[in-house]
Amino acid sequence: MTSRRDFLRGTLAGTGAVAAAAVAPRAEARPMPERSPDAVGLLFDGTLCIGCKACVSACKEVNDLPLDYNSPVDALWDTPLDTTARTFNVIKVYKDGDLSQKDSVENGYAFTKASCYHCVDPSCVSACPVSAMTKDKVTGIVEYDANICIGCRYCVAACPFGIPKYDYDSPTGAIGKCELCRHRTEDGQYAACAEVCPTGATLFGKVGDLLEEARRRVALEPGGTTVYPRGDITNGPDQSWEGPVANYQQHIYGEHEGGGTQVLHIGAIPHQKLGLPALPEYSYASRSEGLQHGLYSGLVLPLALFGAMTWAARRNSRHDDEEGGEK
């Protein structure tokens, strides 16, 4: 007699074979979108960050976010170790050896910033079944609408950076993430983290301007001096200052990773040592949507599943009849 396990195994094998044959010509990666010429974002320069966390406090203030504790023991201090649904921006530290030299891989330390990267082709937007996550066609900001969200947390699973976080303490359930302070633009303001940064380690502006500035910096000769802008590089007043040039890694993180992002990182420490994921130049959304559309276009997957289950049921029924006849 055929066991339940054998039946399911045969069904799944048949489903896979039928679905694969049906989907093969359809499951092609769709074209990836390009950055909008008016897309805005951030440039984070780890060599300029002094770890003051003014950006963390400012983000909390302008977004009206509550205190966030790691544990009841830390309940006197707002001390999140990573982004949460109530903390959209944190500063982390790389440490090695005796920590005697800033921005040194050996016996050194360096700071890095964690927040939403506002991907050019965001997986969270692609995965959201109700369009609670959307991407503004002009600014490129990945926006979230709690009034539409159904709490499925697909965006949490889909993001390669682990940025959208679900608030389990919320009575209705909600996602929390950076939205580049889009609610402040009506007053002519911009991302608070860049506005308060005393060194310009976090810089706001159009992504084209930020990329140009990032390329300029990584091409500088270490040990010299240069001028560093602060605040809004595109529309803000001149708040630049002159400072030393570090030994930059010859890579702008976010220029191509995951199809490109609107938050860019440069610094003196290899990005993987700072916890930034190594991503391909294509976006995951462009590949997964091709597969999904192939599976569900024309009801391919449901029909394949039904056909495979029918085939498996008939085969197993015939096998049982033969065994019965032998007895």
Asked whether the predicted pLDDT for residue 306 surpasses 80, the reply is: no
Please, which pLDDT band fits residue 295 given cuts at 50, 70 and 90? low
Looking at domain 40-256+267-281, which CATH architecture does it have?
2-Layer Sandwich (3.30)
Three-state SS sequence of the chain: CCCHHHHHHHHHHHHHHHHHHHHCCCCCCCCCCCCCCCCEEEEEECCCCCCCCHHHHHHHHHCCCCCCCCCHHHCCCCCCCCCECCECCEEEEEECCCCCEECCCCCEEEEEEECCCCECCCHHHHHCCCCCEEECCCCCCEEECCCCCCCCCHHHHHCCCCCCEEECCCCCCEEECCCCCHHHHHHCCCCHHHHHCCCCCEEEEEHHHHHHHHHHHHCCCCCCEEEECCCECCCCCCCCEEEECCCCCCCCECCCHHHCECEEEECCCCHHHHCCCCCCCCCHHHHHHHHHHHHHHHHHHHHHHHHHHHHHHHHHHHHHHHHHHHC
What is the tens place of the pLDDT at every residue in 5-18?
554 455 444 445 44
Mean pLDDT of all residues belonging to the chain: 87
How much is the pTM?
A: 0.82
Per-residue pLDDT for 4 more than 90?
no
Predicted pLDDT of residue 289: 82
The reported pLDDT for the residue numbered 7 is 47
Q: Is the pLDDT of residue 166 over 70?
A: yes
Segment among 74-83, 119-128, 156-165 with least mean pLDDT: 74-83
Enumerate the domain spans of the chain: 4-31+286-326, 40-256+267-281
Is the model's pLDDT at 24 over the cut of 50? no
pLDDT digit string, tens, across residues 108-117: 999 999 999 9
- Please compute the mean of the pLDDT values over residues 53-66 and round it to a whole number: 96
